[in-house]
Amino acid sequence: MTMFRIGEAAELLGVSVDTVRRWVDAGRLPAVRDEHGHRVVDGVALAGFVQAQGGDPEDRAEESSARNRLRGIVTAVVKDTVMAQVDIQAGPFRLVSLMSREAVDDLGLEVGSVAIAVIKSTTVMVEKPTMTAGSRGRSSS
């Protein structure tokens, strides 16, 4: 079973350590003490918590088959005569989209505006981080 310290859980969730501590203290996120007295969160419990925070996809007003929707703030817009690049910061994630200039203008995208990056892909690659001393997530035997 993989266990995460509070700081590791905060990093994965893109929130502060204090926020995770408040969730644990309020009983919203279950945690136990490890053999060193540190609070740790079970990986399965953390995954369930994240899923519950995401809400029901059916609650959105838009009709779409895309399930990967990241809400963020536009941090850069670079336009030329035909194309544009839009950078969105969604939590700890930077997303870059290339689209027509007309689409950017029609959507009114500008630095500081809120946007939702909708990701629909036929290929999604998943990597697992290299495990080193002090690495993220600890497996217990």
Mean pLDDT within 41-54: 83
Q: Are 76 and 88 in contact (CB under 8 A)?
A: no
Confidence at residue 56, expressed as pLDDT on a 0 to 100 scale: 54
Please give the average per-residue pLDDT across 41-69, as a whole number: 72
Per-residue confidence band for 141, with pLDDT thresholds at 50, 70 and 90: very low
**63 or 36, which is more confident:** 36
Strands 2-5 and 68-79: unpaired
Measured distance CA(134)–CA(88) in Å, rounded:
31
Question: What's the pLDDT tens digit per position in 102-125?
Answer: 999 999 999 988 888 888 877 777
Q: What is the pLDDT of residue 132?
A: 62
